Amino acid sequence: MKLIPEKKYYTAILFQNFEDGMEACRAIIQSGLKPATVRLSDEEETEFILS
């Protein structure tokens, strides 16, 4: 059985380039945080999602 959280928080961050995004993902994981999902999109995918 799994408890259901009272609240869920969603955050989106837009980076200047893919490399900065990779560094942020690495820092999140190395910090010990355990997000349910981390997604990093390249420029082409981001343009598609935002269109």
Q: Is the pLDDT of residue 11 over 90?
A: no
Domain coordinates of the chain in residue numbers?
26-50
**pLDDT tens digit sequence for 13-23:** 989 999 999 99
pLDDT of residue 29: 92
* Integer Cα distance of 6 and 17 in angstroms: 35
pTM metric for this prediction: 0.67
Reduced to 3 states, what is the DSSP secondary structure of residue 1? Answer: coil
Query: What's the CA dihedral at 10, 44, 14, 41 to 10 degrees?
Result: 50
